[in-house]
Chains A and B, each alone.
Chain A
Amino acid sequence: MREALRRASLGYLVLAATVVAYLVVYTSRLGRFPTSFDYLSILNTTLPLVFVAIGQSLVVLTGGIDLSVGGIVSVCVAVTASRVTGGVLSSYTWIVVIIAMGAACGAVNGLIVAYGRIAPILTTLATLSIFSGLALWVLPVPGGSIPPEVRLVLTNPGTPTGLIWLGLAVVGWLVLRRTRFGMRVYAVGSDESSARAVGVPAAAVKLKVYALSGLCSALAAVFYVSTTTAGDANAGNPFILTSIASVVVGGVAFSGGRGSALGAVAGAVALTLVIDILFFSGIDPLYQSLFQGLFLVVAVLLGTVAALVARRRRLA
């Protein structure tokens, strides 16, 4: 339990450190505190990654990995940008359809992983290609739009409606982890054969986890189009690596069974903030990925060092 707490808190510590760094860099650069506009734009640009990271963390908690999030986000972005254009009613109907579509894509992954017994990294590598193809088919050239009414509800550029969605995601996770399904996710991730032995339907749990990951990717896609007001069939690609990075920074163990989706949310926000920090500290944007890479490795190293110190203290 203490171990779980320590792992989860790594994400919050990293987030706290990046927030402080952001405030310091911002105020020293511009001579004033960030305005509500700054906070709002951070919130809205983070939302898509937050959702993908939640889905990814669920999969990683069962000991898997989902590379196809990139493809699912892409295909859902393509459908959102090209179909959610008409009246309010048809827009919301389409959004529901898109969310169902994301879950269905995820369920395909789940079926292949759980019942086809193909390693998650390989399954999702293959389906990534399939979903990316679908996205390109739906939206061959970047473009599309989203009605302003929908945008005002999802990522309002004037008021923090994004906070509602972020809050719902956090509450959703807190409820989920206390359900029987939530317990089973951890059980499968900690030790699959033991979980099976005590009657946990591991295959069904995995199927649901991948479906949920797909659903999260679909939500991310809707928020993505709402923030950028246009779509691109390759929009999802960056999310593959950034969602994995968020999960890692958030302290979710790759071996499965340890960590929390909230840690991944913290990781996602921290990763987005790092870009702003680099921007405000006047670093050449060409070097951006250098610092993101270092940030990733250092954050994980800190976690390892903390674990070593804790173990030594316990032994002493």
Chain B
Amino acid sequence: MSTRRVLYALAGTVAVLLIGAILHPGFASWSSLRVMLVVASFTGFVAAGQMLVVLVGGIDLSIPWVLNGAAIVLTTSSLGQTSRAPLAIVLALGVGALVGLGNGMGVAWLGVPAVVMTLGMNGVMQGLTLGLSKGLTCASCGSYAPAPLRGLFDGALPAQLFLWAGVGLFMTVLLTLTTFGRRVYAVGVNPRAAFLSGVGVRGVTVALYTLSGVFAALAGIALVAYGGQPSLGLGDPYLFESIAAVVVGGVSILGGRGHYLGVIAGSLTLVAVTTFLQAQRVPEYGRLMIYGLVILTILFAYGREKAHD
């Protein structure tokens, strides 16, 4: 059932690319595909984290400002110097992990609903990011990302794509080949049954939220490397985009079903739709409406819930 959904997601991507290539020659050429893959990789990173928490029936609304905070931590701690880059990356990922850990503890131990916990955490991170960087006017806030990071996007086959492939491999191995992965699906299908059969439900939940924070931070690092400098609101588009990519990728929003391969396809589909509409010079209002309609169409194709009767 869930493998079939991955196939649907891939078919969806191919369909969008085909329609694009027919209506707009050159749309599916490698040079244009490469740009789309790079842009989709950012969504792919945040969607990896979002997928993990969605698999256990949760949701992570703290992604936007974890991403933004990590991006600013990266530039302000590295000051654009290559020698400080490794430390800065560790620091940025650490911030993501810490926030994710906080989310996980709140959800698993304090019993705060995921929507509330992560929504509150998003506010906390927004306040901290704005306050500590004084609205991004601090002395070191004008720094650029270190040169090696900016090199992620150079060449005919950018290193960023290998990074995304690495994330894909990590997610697939983690979810399909490890005991941890089995436990994640078990918790997602039925937390109570999982608990009774000896799965540490709380531990799994905390680990997943932590990973989600790390992936959001990773997306922040990649985005700031891509753009050179961080900006405020950098992460805002990725909240709903990550949820859309997860669902278009065939992951059940109720938890327990889905594969990262589908999410890769989902991210690519969303970016392909946006790129196509931009190439056709559709104005922004039209892009928004068509984007919504495409998501609805995909949901009608394979995202419906079972009938009640």
What residues make up the interface of A, taking CB atoms closer than 8 Å to B? 65, 67, 112, 116-119, 121-123, 125-137, 140, 192-193, 196, 202, 241, 244-245, 248, 254, 284, 286-294, 296-297, 300-301, 304
Flag whether B279 is at the interface (Cβ < 8 A): no
Given A116-B304, A293-B123, also A126-B292 (CB < 8 A): yes
Flag whether B173 is at the interface (Cβ < 8 A): no
Q: In the complex the two chains form, is B127's CB within 8 Å of A126's CB?
A: no
Flag whether B287 is at the interface (Cβ < 8 A): yes
Q: How far is the CB of A165 from chain B (nearest CB, A)?
A: 28
Flag whether B243 is at the interface (Cβ < 8 A): yes
Q: In the complex the two chains form, is B253's CB within 8 Å of A119's CB?
A: yes
Q: In the complex the two chains form, is B110's CB within 8 Å of A192's CB?
A: no
Contacts of B296 in A (CB 8 A): 112, 118, 123, 126-127, 130
Of the listed residues A193, A196, A287, A291, the one surrounded by the most CB atoms of chain B closer than 10 A to its CB is A287
Q: In the complex the two chains form, is A288's CB within 8 Å of B127's CB?
A: yes
23 contacts between A and B (CB under 8 A): A67-B240, A117-B305, A118-B305, A123-B296, A126-B292, A126-B296, A128-B240, A128-B292, A129-B289, A130-B288, A130-B289, A130-B292, A133-B288, A241-B119, A254-B113, A284-B131, A287-B127, A287-B131, A290-B131, A293-B119, A297-B112, A301-B110, A301-B112
Q: In the complex the two chains form, is A133's CB within 8 Å of B119's CB?
A: no
Q: Mark B118-129, 1 if CB is under 8 A from A, else 0.
A: 011111111110
Contacts of B303 in A (CB 8 A): 118-119, 122
Contacts of A287 in B (CB 8 A): 127-128, 130-131
Q: In the complex the two chains form, is B285's CB within 8 Å of A134's CB?
A: yes
Contact of A137 among B135, B285, B293, B307 (CB under 8 A): B285
Flag whether B281 is at the interface (Cβ < 8 A): no
Q: In the complex the two chains form, is B130's CB within 8 Å of A118's CB?
A: no
Contacts of A117 in B (CB 8 A): 304-307
Q: How far is the CB of B309 from chain A (nearest CB, A)?
A: 8
Q: In the complex the two chains form, is A132's CB within 8 Å of B288's CB?
A: yes
Flag whether B244 is at the interface (Cβ < 8 A): yes
Sort A-B residue pairs by CB-CB distance and give the 5 closest, nearest first.
A290-B127, A293-B123, A133-B288, A129-B292, A133-B289
Contacts of A135 in B (CB 8 A): 285
Given A119-B253, A126-B292, A128-B240, also A133-B116 (CB < 8 A): no
Given A116-B304, A129-B291, A286-B134, also A293-B124 (CB < 8 A): yes
Q: In the complex the two chains form, is B305's CB within 8 Å of A300's CB?
A: no
Contacts of A118 in B (CB 8 A): 296, 299-300, 303-305
Given A248-B116, A300-B112, A301-B110, also A290-B124 (CB < 8 A): yes
Q: In the complex the two chains form, is A119's CB within 8 Å of B254's CB?
A: yes
Contacts of A245 in B (CB 8 A): 119
A304 to B108, CA, bound (A): 13
A202 to B253, CA, bound (A): 21
Q: In the complex the two chains form, is A294's CB within 8 Å of B292's CB?
A: no
Q: In the complex the two chains form, is A125's CB within 8 Å of B240's CB?
A: yes
Q: In the complex the two chains form, is B135's CB within 8 Å of A292's CB?
A: no
Q: In the complex the two chains form, is A119's CB within 8 Å of B305's CB?
A: yes
Chain B, interface size: which category?
35 or more
Q: How far is the CB of B254 from chain A (nearest CB, A)?
A: 7
Q: How far is the CB of A32 from chain B (nearest CB, A)?
A: 30
Flag whether B23 is at the interface (Cβ < 8 A): no
Given A122-B303, A136-B284, A287-B127, also A129-B295 (CB < 8 A): yes
A192 to B307, CA, bound (A): 13
- Interface SS of chain B: helix
Flag whether B198 is at the interface (Cβ < 8 A): no
Q: In the complex the two chains form, is B115's CB within 8 Å of A297's CB?
A: no
A56 to B40, CA, bound (A): 32
Contacts of A125 in B (CB 8 A): 240, 243-244, 295
A294 to B304, CA, bound (A): 36
Q: In the complex the two chains form, is B292's CB within 8 Å of A293's CB?
A: no
Flag whether B286 is at the interface (Cβ < 8 A): yes
Contact of B288 among A129, A292, A301 (CB under 8 A): A129
List residues 258-309 of chain B with CB under 8 A from any CB of chain A.
284-293, 295-296, 299-300, 303-309
A118 to B307, CA, bound (A): 11
A127 to B291, CA, bound (A): 10
List residues 135-156 of chain B with CB under 8 A from any CB of chain A.
135
Flag whether B106 is at the interface (Cβ < 8 A): yes
Q: In the complex the two chains form, is A193's CB within 8 Å of B308's CB?
A: yes
Of the listed residues B253, B306, B309, the one surrounded by the most CB atoms of chain A closer than 10 A to its CB is B253
A127 to B288, CA, bound (A): 10
Given A116-B304, A133-B288, also A292-B130 (CB < 8 A): no
Q: How far is the CB of A188 from chain B (nearest CB, A)?
A: 11
Contacts of B39 in A (CB 8 A): none
Q: How far is the CB of B198 from chain A (nearest CB, A)?
A: 25
A196 to B115, CA, bound (A): 28
Contacts of A128 in B (CB 8 A): 240, 292
Contacts of A286 in B (CB 8 A): 127, 130-131, 134-135
Q: In the complex the two chains form, is A133's CB within 8 Å of B285's CB?
A: yes
Q: In the complex the two chains form, is A126's CB within 8 Å of B295's CB?
A: yes
Contacts of B288 in A (CB 8 A): 129-130, 132-133, 136
Q: In the complex the two chains form, is A122's CB within 8 Å of B119's CB?
A: no
Q: In the complex the two chains form, is B253's CB within 8 Å of A122's CB?
A: yes
Contacts of A301 in B (CB 8 A): 110, 112
A139 to B305, CA, bound (A): 36
Q: In the complex the two chains form, is B116's CB within 8 Å of A294's CB?
A: no
Contacts A293-B124, A293-B125, A304-B112 known; 17 new A-B pairs at CB < 8 A: A67-B240, A119-B305, A122-B243, A122-B247, A122-B295, A122-B303, A123-B299, A128-B240, A129-B289, A130-B288, A130-B292, A137-B289, A286-B135, A290-B131, A293-B123, A297-B112, A297-B116
